[in-house]
Structure 1
Amino acid sequence: MLALYCDVEHVVRPGDRTSVHVSTTASTFRLQLYPLGGSEPVWSGPALTGKLVPAGDPTRDWQWPDHPIDIPADLPGGVYLVVGLELDGSTDYEPSLVGYDATALLAITPERPASTALYKLPMRTYLAYNPAGGASLYVNRQWRDGACVAGVRRPGAGIGGPTAEPVDIYAPGNPRQTFWHWDEPFLSWASERGYALDVVFDTALDDEPELLGRYGTLVTAGHDEYWTAECRERTEEFVAGGGNVLVFGGNTCWWRTEVRDGELRVAKDEANPVVGDLWWRTDRPEASLIGLSFRHGGASWLAGRPPTSYEFRPDGDALLDGVDLAAFAELTDLAGYEVDGHAYEPGRPWQPTGAEDVPDGLVVLAYAPLADAPPAHWYSDPREPHLRSPRCATIAYHRHGDALIFNGGTTDWPRHLHHPAVDRLTRNVLDAAEVHGV
C-alpha cells in the first residue's frame, strides 16, 4: 500500500522543488512523473525509505513525511501524475486506472506562457468532495467555528483517493468529482484539436494573483463549484482589463469559500447544509460575472436524467456558424448532471429578465426547459420568491468591453466534445477568444 499527496497551494514551474508527502507499507519506494496520457515516466527519482503513517483528521494537515522532488527544468508545462512505485512489492501502474492510491495530480505552469489561455483546474471542488480520512463537505461533515471544513493536505482531491459519488450511468467506472470525469476529456480534446492550454490549480492561482494577467483567456470546464473571494476578485479584474472567460461547465462559482492554513472552509448551515454562503446571496452574485446561475437551472442526481433538448435562438449568431443545430438538439443527455440557467418571462426565453444580476447584453444562444419525466426528476435550488420563470439549462454569452464571457451552462459539456455539433461550437468559442499557442 502506498498513498501520497502533493502541494496544491503554490504554483509549480519547471525547475521548482515541490513537496510530495508519502505513507507506505513498503520499505523502499520511488517517485515518478507521468505526462497526461503517457505510458512512460518523464522523470524517475531515486529509491526512498518508506514509512507507514496513519490517516489524519480529514479537516487538517496530515503531515506525512515530505519527499520533495525537483521538477526538471526542461519539462513542458501541463498536467502530470505523480506516482509512487513500491520497490519491494508487486504494484503495477497503469496510467488510465481511476482511483489508484499511489497517484496524485500535479499542475506544472510554464515560467513564460506557452498559450494565450490558462486552464483553471478546480482543485477546491475536488477537495470539497474528497472523503479521505472519513469526511468531506458532503460525507460525515465536520464543523468548526461556524464553517464546514475539509483538509487540503491529504490524499485524494480529484485522483489517487476515494470518492463517495454514486455511479454515473453515462460514464460507469468514471466517478464524478474527479479529474478523469470532466477535465481530462476537455484537456485531451483541446490537445487533439491543436488548442494549447497552460494549466494551474485554482488553489495555487490564489497564491500568485499576477499570473492570470499574463494570459488573454481563462478557461474552466466541468464542475468549478467553489470560488474564493480572491479568485472572484482576480477574475473580475481580469475581465475589466479585457480578458476572456470561457466556462464549459455548470454549477460554476456557487459556494463562496476560503482556503486558510491548509483548510477549505465554507459557511454552511449545520442543520441544513444545502444552505449557506452562496455567491448569489451576496452583493456579487455569480451571474453578474458568468451570465448564468445554478438557481435558475437544476440538478438530476438519480441514475438517469429526464431527456432534455436544446432550442436555439431563431435569429442565429456568429458563434453558431457551422453548428448542426438539429443534431445538437438531439443530444438529450447533454444537460446535466447539474446545469445553470437564466431567468425570463414565460414564453420569452431570448429576453433575460427578472433577476437583478443579469449582465448587460446577455445573449442566450440556446436553452433547454428542465421537464421532469418520472421517476427521473430535476432538483431545483431555492431562489428569489418573485422569480417565476421556468427552470432551464442555458448556453449564453455576453461582452464586457473587449472581453468575451461564454457559459455552456452544463457540467457534462466536456463529455460530449466528441459530438460534431458540440465540437464545432466549442471551437467557435475558442477561436473567438483567439486561443492558441505562443
Structure 2
Amino acid sequence: MFRIRRRTALGLLAGGVSAAALGAELPDGIPDSGTLVRRLPSPVERENRAAGEPWWPTQDPGRDSDDHRRQIQGYASATSVAPGESIDFHVAVDPVGRYRISLHRLGWYGGAGARTVLTSPEFDGAPQPVPPADPTTGTIACRWPVSWTVRIPDDWTSGLYQAVFTSADGWRACTPFVVRDDRRAAAIAVVLPVTTWQAYNQWPMDRQHGRSLYNGYSETGRQTPDTRAMEVSYDRPYAGDGIPTHLARDHDAIQWLERNHYDVSYATSLDLHSGRLDPTRHAGIVFAGHDEYWSVQMRRAAERAVAASGSLAFFGANSSYWHIRVRSAADGRPERVVACAKSADDPGLDADGPTIRWREIGRPEQAMIGVQYNGIVDGRQPLVVRSAEHWFWAGTGVADGDRIPGVVCGEADGLDPTAPRPAASTATVLSASPYRTRYGRRQVQNTHLYGTPEGGLVFASGTLCWTAALNQPGYRDERIERATANLLDRITGRTRPVADTPARG
C-alpha cells in the first residue's frame, strides 16, 4: 500500500474522494471512512456567493484622472496586509474639494467582477506636489500625508483589492493592494506581481517628470530610456487612472480560478521575497500574470518549494527575467523600493550580484521554469498543439498540429538549447508555435511542463495571453480552460471543477 502526502490527501478529501477508493493510506490524523467525503466550500468560494457589482464604472469613462491635471490620485502604504493589520491611503485632489474612498475585492461574483466591502466618510482633499527625482537613482517618492487608515477586519477574504478614490465632482482613480490569509494554507497560493507592476509605472506621465525602470522624459518631452530610473518607489500613485500595466492579466486568472471554485489565497511577489508567503505550505503556487522582476529571495523561495515536492504554474511569460534588489524607503519603512540598474555598473552592487538579467549572472530562467523569454510577438498568433496524448490535453479533443487561435501574443517563451535545463523526472513540450517577433525575427513559442524528482510539477504557458484564453470575451477558449483545469486538478488532487458558465470563444 502506498502512502500519500498529507497536503495531497486533504485536497483529495476536499474533492470528494476516499483513500480506500485510491488504495491509499492516509497520513496520521486524517480519518478514512471508506466513503466519499463531501467537499466543503473554501473561504473564497463562500465569498463569491455574495452579491457583486463592477468595481470600475464603465458608463462614464471621461471621468478617469490623468497625470497632467491629476484631478484625484493616491497610493497605499503597503502592497499587502493581513486581517488585523492596518493600511494607510495617501490622496491628492486638485482643485481642493471633497472626496470618498471605496474598497472593493476583485473576484468572480457570478460575473459581476467585484464586491464593495467598505466606503469611507467624505474627506477634504487638496493638491500634493510631485517630488523631484533623486539625482542618482531617478526615484520619485511622495511624502503625502495620510488621508485614511483602515484596519483590515478579521472576516475579510484573501484577495486582490482596489481602493477607488472619487472626488465630489466625479473624477476617479485607484490603487491596488492584497489581503493575505496567513492563518490557513489554501491549496493554491496566487502570487500577484507587484514588483513588475511598479517597474512599469511611469507616474506621472506628464511629458516631464515621470520615470519607470524603462523610460523617463527628454527635455522635449519624448519618452527615452536615457532618463529612466534605476530605482522606483511604491510611495507614489500608479500612472493615470491608477490601474497598473498588465493587471488585467492577473484579473483574468483570478476570475477563472474563482469561477471554477479553486481553493485559493493571494499574496504578492514581495510576500514571496520577505517570507510572509511560505510556498511549501501550499500544493501549488500560481504566478498569475506578467512576473518579470524577481529578487534572489523570491527565486530561492520558489526553488525551495520545488525541492519540497511543491508545484509552480507560470500563467504568463518572460517570468523571472530581471534580477532586482528590494530596498527600504529613506525613512526605513521596508520593501518600498525596487532597484534594477539593468547594467553591470550597478551602484548598489552586493553579494547577490548586479541587478541585470538572471541569465547574465549564470542563472537563466529556464533552469527553474523549463523555458525562457525569446521575443515580443507581432500580433496574435495561434498556439500549435504538441503532445496531444498527454494528460494535460485530456478531454480537450485536440490533436498534434491543431492551432488554437490568438493564444500566443504579447511576449513568448521557448526552449533555449544553449541554456541549462532543470532537473526533471519527465519533461513535455505541449506546444510548438512559430511566430515572428515585432522586430522580424522568427522564433518558436513553447508551452512546457516538467515533473520534478521530488514529485512536483512546473508548468509554463509560454505566452502572456494564456489568461485571456481563460476569461476574456472573444478570446476565451474551452480547450485552454480544460487543459489548465487538468493541470491544477493534478497539482491539488481535486476532481475536475465545474465552471459557473459555459466557455465561449
User: TM-score, normalized by length of structure 1?
Assistant: 0.78
Structure 1 distance, partners of 2:276, 2:426, is 28
**How does 1:387-406 map onto structure 2 within 5 Å?**
391-400=443-452, 401-406=454-459
Q: Closer, same or farther in 2 for the Cα pair 1:334/1:233, shift >3 Å?
A: same
**How does 1:252-401 map onto structure 2 within 5 Å?**
252-261=319-328, 262-269=336-343, 277-294=356-373, 297-300=374-377, 304-305=379-380, 307-313=381-387, 316-326=389-399, 329-343=402-416, 353-361=417-425, 363-372=427-436, 377=438, 391-400=443-452, 401=454
Question: Highest relative contact order (Cα 8 Å, sep 6+), 1 or 2?
Answer: 1
Is 1:32 paired with 2:32?
A: no
**1:44 aligned residue (99, 104, 119):** 119
Q: Deviations over 1:394-413 (max 9, x none)?
A: 11111221211111111110
Q: Closer, same or farther in 2 for the Cα pair 1:365/1:263, shift >3 Å?
A: same
Rg (Cα) greater in structure: 2
Following superposition, the deviation at residue 234 of structure 1 comes to 0.9
**1:102 aligned residue (173, 193, 197):** 173
Task: Give the percent of matched residue pairs that are identical in Structure 1 and Structure 2.
Answer: 25
What is the count of residue pairs matched by the alignment? 380
Is 1:432 paired with 2:482?
A: no
CA RMSD of aligned residues (A): 3.0
Following superposition, the deviation at residue 331 of structure 1 comes to 2.1
Following superposition, the deviation at residue 161 of structure 1 comes to 2.8
* Alignment-derived partner of residue 6 in structure 1: 76
**2:89 aligned residue (10, 15, 20):** 20
Following superposition, the deviation at residue 61 of structure 1 comes to 2.0
**8 Å contact kept, 1:8–1:203:** no
* Alignment-derived partner of residue 70 in structure 1: 151
* Alignment-derived partner of residue 50 in structure 2: none
Q: Letter of the 1:337 partner, please give it.
A: G
Is 1:189 paired with 2:256?
A: yes
**2:212 aligned residue (90, 114, 136):** 136
Q: Closer, same or farther in 2 for the Cα pair 1:147/1:42, shift >3 Å?
A: closer
Report the 3-state secondary structure (helix = DSSP H, G, I; strand = E; otherwise coil) of the residue aligned with 2:266. Answer: strand
**8 Å contact kept, 2:366–2:419:** no
Q: Letter of the 1:409 partner, please give it.
A: G
Q: Closer, same or farther in 2 for the Cα pair 1:340/1:379, shift >3 Å?
A: farther
Structure 2 distance, partners of 1:222, 1:328, is 26
**8 Å contact kept, 2:321–2:358:** yes
Structure 1 distance, partners of 2:287, 2:211, is 26
Q: Letter of the 2:461 partner, please give it.
A: G
* Alignment-derived partner of residue 174 in structure 1: none
Q: Closer, same or farther in 2 for the Cα pair 1:317/1:61, shift >3 Å?
A: same
Q: Deviations over 1:278-307 (max 9, x none)?
A: 11122322111111111xx3212x5x34x4
Report the 3-state secondary structure (helix = DSSP H, G, I; strand = E; otherwise coil) of the residue aligned with 2:406. Answer: coil
Structure 1 distance, partners of 2:271, 2:440, is 33
Structure 2 distance, partners of 1:62, 1:227, is 24
Q: Deviations over 1:93-126 (max 9, x none)?
A: xxxxxxxx52111210123236211100011111
Structure 2 distance, partners of 1:106, 1:19, is 11
* Alignment-derived partner of residue 309 in structure 2: 242
Structure 2 distance, partners of 1:317, 1:330, is 17
Report the 3-state secondary structure (helix = DSSP H, G, I; strand = E; otherwise coil) of the residue aligned with 2:127. Answer: coil
Q: Closer, same or farther in 2 for the Cα pair 1:237/1:258, shift >3 Å?
A: same
Structure 2 distance, partners of 1:55, 1:102, is 17
* Alignment-derived partner of residue 59 in structure 1: 139
**8 Å contact kept, 1:23–1:65:** no
User: TM-score, normalized by length of structure 2?
Assistant: 0.69
Report the 3-state secondary structure (helix = DSSP H, G, I; strand = E; otherwise coil) of the residue aligned with 2:116. Answer: coil
Following superposition, the deviation at residue 179 of structure 1 comes to 1.1
Structure 1 distance, partners of 2:116, 2:317, is 34
Following superposition, the deviation at residue 148 of structure 1 comes to 2.1
Following superposition, the deviation at residue 203 of structure 1 comes to 2.0
**8 Å contact kept, 1:293–1:340:** yes
Q: Closer, same or farther in 2 for the Cα pair 1:7/1:124, shift >3 Å?
A: same
Following superposition, the deviation at residue 221 of structure 1 comes to 2.4
Q: Letter of the 1:31 partner, please give it.
A: I
Following superposition, the deviation at residue 84 of structure 1 comes to 1.9
Following superposition, the deviation at residue 199 of structure 1 comes to 0.9
**8 Å contact kept, 1:335–1:393:** yes
**1:415 aligned residue (461, 468, 479):** 468
